[in-house]
Amino acid sequence: TQLLEQSPQFLSIQEGENLTVYCNSSSVFSSLQWYRQEPGEGPVLLVTVVTGGEVKKLKRLTFQFGDARKDSSLHITAAQPGDTGLYLCAGAWTDKLIFGTGTRLQVFP
Amino acid sequence: ETGVTQTPRHLVMGMTNKKSLKCEQHLGHNAMYWYKQSAKKPLELMFVYSLEERVENNSVPSRFSPECPNSSHLFLHLHTLQPEDSALYLCASSQERRNTQYFGPGTRLTVL
């Protein structure tokens, strides 16, 4: 069974702080996606990274795909309460998309 | 309507009831999924349908019975559920199984 471990599992921070969420596996993925799920809704795609070492930015969010395509990170600069939610990574492996264990982020004003 | 819709959004049922969850996708995708999401647990894949055929069933108890009558619709039939089945049930669709999945808003199920 392929497993994508995310860390930390839970994160509570104050508005304005920076944070990094990690997504790690022993498997190589052809691409990796990040989703955000807000309370009461389904996950929504934020970004897809495809090339090893690729970095993508989405406003205050920076996504990086590891050189070996086994891991990824999501960095949020100056977090805001609107960033609160569950962050899920998902790796494309053979013919499937495997979801990570999730990081629940709470940003307090 | 666009995207993936799920009905009902909330459902409370007794352990002896029979109910069904409905999912509809308006994206022309060929794969559909049922997930269970419990508090403080990872997203659990329950069933996968590809081209209207069930291709994955991840050790889900028989009290959950999926149905995919066509490429746009997916049902989850529930009977004789247990309180521990209370969770958010999410439906998703994608064009091919390795591509981006688009999720519905989920059905919040409470089993009394």
Residues in chain A: 109
Predicted local confidence at residue A2, as pLDDT: 59
Distance between CA B57 and CA B45 in Å, rounded?
8
DSSP code for B41: S
Segment among A36-40, A78-82, B30-34, B104-108 with least mean pLDDT: A36-40
Burial tier of A13 (Cβ tally within 10 Å: 0-12, 13-18, 19+)? middle
Interval A43-98: pLDDT, tens: 999 999 999 999 999 999 999 999 999 999 999 999 999 999 999 999 998 888 89
Q: What is the average per-residue pLDDT within A32-36?
A: 96
Instruction: Choose among A41, A96, A100: nearest Cβ to B98.
Output: A96
Q: What is the average per-residue pLDDT within B24-32?
A: 95
Q: Residues of B at the A interface (Cβ-Cβ below 8 Å)?
A: 4, 40, 42-43, 45, 90, 92, 94, 96-106, 108
Predicted local confidence at residue A67, as pLDDT: 96
Interval B9-24: pLDDT, tens: 999 999 888 999 999 9
Distance between CA B66 and CA B81 in Å, rounded?
14
Radius of gyration of chain B (CA): 13
The DSSP result for B86-111, as a single string, is -EEEEEEEESSTTS--EE---EEEEE
Say whether B100 and A94 touch across the interface (CB within 8 A).
Answer: no
Predicted local confidence at residue B99, as pLDDT: 86
- CA-nearest residue of chain B to A100? B42
